[in-house]
Amino acid sequence: MNKPVIGILPLYDMEMESLWMLPYYLNRVEKAGGIPVVLPLDLAIEDIYELNKHIDGYIFPGGEDVNPELYNEAKAPYCGKINEARDNIEAKVFRVAYQENKPILGICRGSQIINALLGGSLYQDLYEEFEGIEHHQEKPYNVGFHCVKTLEDTPLRSFGEITKVNSVHHQGIKRLASVLRPMALASDGLIEAYYEPSKKFLWAFQWHPEMLENESFSEKIFKEFINSCNK
C-alpha cells in the first residue's frame, strides 16, 4: 500500500514574511504512516484543484486568531492578532478539500476556522465572553492540563471516555456549524472536538494532540486520520 500524502497548511510569520512548520505535525504524520508536505501560502484556485489530485488528506494547524469577519462579527478589542494570508489560503484549500471529500484534520486554530467556514461562530476571547475553566496552560505544552469527556455515539468514544489534554488557546467554539457534531467537551461545556458525520473524515480538536507525548489517545487520532486517507 502506498503511503498517503498529507498536505499541511503552512504557518506564516508576518514580520519575517516567511513560511515555517512545527516538527510535531510532520513527526505525527510520519509516525502514523503518511508523508507530510507543507503547502504554499498562496495559490490560484485552479492550482489548488490540480494539487488536490496528489494530496490524500489535509491538516489545518494551530496559529493566530481567525478573522471575525468570517463569522459575521466585528473584531473586538480582545481578539488577538489576525493572519489574513492564512485565512485566505485556508479558506480556499478547505473549500476544495471539502467539496472533493478529502480527509481533513483540524487542530486548535484549524478547528476554529473550519467551524467558521461552515457557518459556525467563535468566542473571540474566552476570558471576556465565556465563564469556564482555564484553557491556556503555561509551558511545557506537551503535557495534559485538563480533562475532556468524549460523547456517546461518536467516533472518538471508542478511544476512551475521559482523556487529559493540553490547552493553549484563548478562543473557542461558540456556535457549532449545523453540519457538525460535538465529539468531546471540557468540564465547563466548551466543545473540544467535533466531526461531520456525512464526510469520509472531518475531525477537529481544540487541543494539540500532535504535541502530547506518550499518549495513546493522540496516536489513535492520527492513525485514524491516516487510515481514512488510504481508503
- Catalytic machinery residues: 108, 208, 210
Query: Which 3 state secondary structure label does DSSP give 138?
Result: coil
Instruction: List Cα–Cα distances, 42 to 12, 37, 39, 57, 102, in angstroms.
Output: 11, 15, 9, 18, 20
Residue among 93, 94, 196, 215 nearest 147 (CA) = 215
Residue among 84, 190, 92 nearest 146 (CA) = 190
Residue whose C-alpha cell reads 492578532 in the numeric block: 81
Dist. CA 69–CA 76, nearest whole Å: 11
CA end-to-end span of the chain, whole Å?
A: 11
Helix (H) or strand (E) holding 161: none
CB count in 10 Å sphere of residue 139 = 7
Instruction: List Cα–Cα distances, 132 to 5, 81, 138, 144, 189, in angstroms.
Output: 39, 23, 17, 18, 8
Using only C-alpha atoms, the chain has a radius of gyration, in whole angstroms, of 16
C-alpha cell at 141: 505544552
